[in-house]
């Protein structure tokens, strides 16, 4: 964003026509910049903002100093939810914030950066006979017909299983696998919708003619299970079994994570680990640790955070650095290397998963996570 564009944003702020995200952007900028750190041009922008606040507070018969004190006390997330505003935030940071400018000087050539991309819709479908279909390369329409079930790729990039006129008395098992940097959506024969996150796999029958519905998951997936009281739906992972009749929930069960997380958004689920069982209510999350037989359940302030990935975001709430970077590693299909001892801090924020890696590094730097690219890998350092 150039200074003229930022002037327009300040004008919107002063006239009370700015959105909440735009107001937060301006206030965050004002809060962090001191007069001895900015250029004359930026100082002029800051003076415009001051005059706007003075005018606004005078109209409301409030002391100007009180308004500015409130502005400086306000604690704002360094990452703003809107994707468009996020890009603006870090353009401003590059212009005016010395720490971010310093980080950018450490970045290597754009050629290396351009070899790291955010993920896309891509997966491999393995059929019952062992044959594999690259779903990113396959055309739309019918892909296969197995045991009375038609497999179709939609124009939106999803996979649909549909029972045809034949009797699927002996369903075949298929597996859909996403690589690092991939995600995919499928519709099972019973009407259950599943979103598969990066570096994950799901094994499932082509149809469900028996008394139960059962699938196996590695990695992470969000489920919207079709209601069928006569047939319970089971999701098996390396640690647990989740039983539902029809509900919306997310399971994060990556082998490299310290614990599996099962988050319920709607309905109810029964979680089993060995002899331990627990029933979740909407808004609750269960954590299970591999070597432990215990299931710990907690209430979440916002359960939708668990499916931010499905909606196109990284969302962190008091996350440690390594957990945060593992999510980035899976989505950008790149390794993360740590140089030096990393401080023990917690991070909260929201980042669009669509941003390019340069913007991503700027966002991380803005929150004190210093990264650069070396040999197509993200290197995290103390400074």
Answer yes or no: is 362 within a domain.
Answer: yes
Whether residues 326 and 343 fall in one domain = yes
- Separation CA 30–CA 7 (nearest Å): 13
Paired tokens of 39:
């250029």
Confidence of residue 58 (pLDDT cuts 50, 70, 90): low
- Does 171 lie in the same domain as 282? yes
pLDDT at 79: 39
Q: Report CA Rg, the chain.
A: 25
Kindly state the DSSP code that residue 245 receives in the 8-state scheme. Answer: S
Instruction: Provide the number of structural domains found in the chain.
Output: 3
For the segment 226-257, what is each residue's pLDDT rounded down to a tens digit?
999 899 999 999 999 999 988 999 999 999 99
Is 201's pLDDT higher than 70? yes
In sign, the C-alpha dihedral spanning 169, 192, 299, 260 is positive
Q: Does the pLDDT value for residue 158 go beyond 90?
A: yes
Determine the pLDDT at residue 48: 59
The better pLDDT of the pair 215, 22 is held by: 215
| DSSP secondary structure code for residue 108 in this structure | -
Confidence grade of residue 104 (pLDDT, cut at 50, 70, 90) = very low
CB within 8 A of 313, min separation 6: which ones? 350, 351, 352, 353
Q: Please say if the pLDDT value at position 176 is more than 70.
A: yes
The model's pTM is 0.73
Residue 36 has pLDDT above 90, yes or no: no
Q: Do 270 and 166 reside in the same domain of the chain?
A: yes
| Residue that finishes a domain, picked among 307, 326, 347 | 307
290 shares a domain with 206: yes
Token pair, residue 69, equals 């004190």
The pLDDT of residue 286 = 96
| Residue 331 falls inside a structural domain | yes
Higher per-residue pLDDT: 30 or 293: 293
Dist CA 373 CA 357 (whole Å): 9
Residues 197 and 273 reside in one and the same domain: yes
| pLDDT at residue 85 is higher than 50 | no
Bridge partners (DSSP) listed for residue 326? none
HEC string of 309-362?
A: CCCCEEEEEEECHHHHHHHHHHHHCCCEEEECCCCCCCEEEEEECCCCHHHHHH
- Report d(CA 227, CA 195) in Å as an integer: 17
Residue 103 lies in a domain: no
What's 334's domain CATH number?
A: 3.55.50.30
Query: Out of 100-114, 182-196, 329-343, which region has the weakest mean confidence (pLDDT)?
Result: 100-114
Task: Identify the pLDDT of residue 29.
Answer: 61
Tokens of 195: 């979103």
The reply to whether 82 falls in a domain is no
172 has pLDDT over 80: yes
Q: 199 and 265: one domain?
A: yes
Looking at the predicted structure, is the pLDDT value of residue 32 above 90? no
Give the model's confidence band at 374: pLDDT under 50 very low, under 70 low, under 90 confident, else very high.
very high
| pLDDT beyond 50 at 382 | yes
Tell me what the mean pLDDT of segment 98-107 comes to. Answer: 37
What confidence category does residue 20 fall into, taking pLDDT thresholds of 50, 70 and 90?
A: low
Neighbours of 8 (CB within 10 A): 11
Decide: helix, strand or coil at residue 380.
strand
- Do 151 and 243 reside in the same domain of the chain? yes
Model pLDDT, residue 94: 35
Shared-domain flag, residues 148 and 282: yes
Share of the chain above pLDDT 90, in %: 51
The residues, any chain, with a CB within 8 Å of residue 35's CB and separated by 6 or more, are: 43, 46
Instruction: Report yes or no on 99 lying in a domain.
Output: no
Q: How far apart are CA 303 and CA 301, in angstroms?
A: 6
Confidence at 163, pLDDT banded by 50, 70, 90: confident
Please give the backbone phi and psi of residue 10, each rounded to the nearest 5 degrees, phi first. -65, -40
Residues 365 and 228 in one domain: no
Domain that holds residue 45: 3-76
d(CA 201, CA 180): 11
In the prediction, which pLDDT does 108 show? Answer: 47
Q: Are 304 and 335 in contact (CB under 8 A)?
A: no
Which carries the bigger pLDDT value, residue 18 or residue 341? 341
| CA–CA distance, 264 with 258 (Å, rounded to integer) | 20
Q: Name the domain boundary from 76, 101, 135.
A: 76
| 157 plus 244 within the same structural domain | yes
- Look at residue 341 in the predicted model and tell me its pLDDT: 86
Average pLDDT over the chain reads: 79
8 located within any domain: yes
Mean pLDDT of 194-211: 95
* Res 83 pLDDT > 80: no
Q: Is the pLDDT of residue 273 over 60?
A: yes
320 and 243 housed in the same domain = no
What tens digit of pLDDT does each residue of 326-360 get?
999 999 999 999 998 888 888 888 899 999 998 89
What are the phi and psi torsion angles at 122 (to 5°)?
-155, 145
Last residue of a domain, one of 256, 275, 307: 307
Asked if the structure places residue 104 within a domain, the reply is no
pLDDT score for 195: 98
374 and 301 assigned to the same domain: no
Mean pLDDT of 296-310: 93
Write the CA distances from 232 to 45, 163, 280, 283, 363, integer angstroms.
61, 19, 16, 21, 44
CA separation for the pair 19, 80 (Å, rounded) = 12
Going by pLDDT thresholds of 50, 70 and 90, the confidence category of residue 363 is confident
Label residue 112 exposed, middle or buried (CB < 10 Å: 0-12, 13-18, 19+).
middle
Q: 318: which 2 tokens?
A: 């008091």
Predicted local confidence at residue 113, as pLDDT? 59
The answer to whether position 36 is within a domain reads yes
């Amino acid at each position: 964003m150039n200074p003229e564009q930022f002037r327009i944003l300040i004008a919107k702020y002063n006239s009370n026509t700015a959105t909440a995200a735009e107001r937060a952007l301006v206030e965050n900028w004002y809060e962090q910049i001191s007069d001895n750190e900015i250029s004359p041009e930026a100082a002029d922008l800051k003076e415009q903002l001051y005059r706007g606040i003075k005018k606004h507070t005078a109209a409301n018969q409030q002391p100007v100093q009180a308004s500015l004190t409130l502005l400086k006390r306000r604690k704002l997330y360094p990452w703003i939810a809107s994707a468009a505003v996020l890009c603006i935030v870090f353009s401003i940071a590059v212009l005016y914030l010395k720490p971010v400018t310093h980080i950018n000087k450490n970045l290597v050539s754009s050629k290396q950066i351009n070899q790291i991309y955010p993920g896309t819709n891509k997966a491999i479908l393995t059929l019952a006979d062992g044959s594999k279909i690259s779903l990113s390369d396959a055309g739309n329409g019918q892909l296969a017909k197995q045991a009375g079930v038609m497999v179709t790729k939609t124009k939106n990039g999803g996979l649909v299983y549909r029972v045809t006129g034949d009797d699927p008395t002996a369903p075949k098992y298929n597996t859909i696998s996403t690589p690092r940097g991939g995600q995919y959506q499928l519709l099972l024969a019973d009407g259950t919708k599943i979103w598969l996150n990066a570096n994950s796999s799901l094994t499932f029958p082509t149809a469900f003619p028996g008394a139960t519905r059962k699938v196996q998951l590695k990695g992470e997936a969000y489920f919207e299970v079709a209601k069928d009281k006569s047939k319970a739906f089971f999701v098996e992972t390396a640690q647990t079994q989740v039983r539902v009749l029809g509900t919306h929930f997310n399971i994060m069960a990556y082998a490299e994570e310290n614990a599996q997380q099962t988050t319920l958004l709607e309905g109810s689920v029964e979680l089993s680990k060995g002899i331990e069982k627990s029933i979740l209510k909407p808004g609750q999350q269960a954590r299970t640790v591999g070597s432990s037989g215990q299931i710990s359940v907690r209430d979440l302030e916002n359960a939708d955070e668990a499916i931010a990935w499905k909606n196109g975001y990284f969302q962190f709430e008091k996350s440690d650095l390594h957990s945060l970077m593992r999510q980035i590693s899976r989505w950008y299909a790149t390794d993360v290397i740590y140089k030096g001892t990393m401080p023990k801090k917690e991070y909260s924020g929201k980042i669009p998963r669509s941003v390019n890696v340069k913007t991503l590094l700027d966002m991380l730097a803005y929150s004190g996570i210093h990264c650069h690219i070396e040999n197509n890998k993200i290197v995290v350092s103390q400074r």
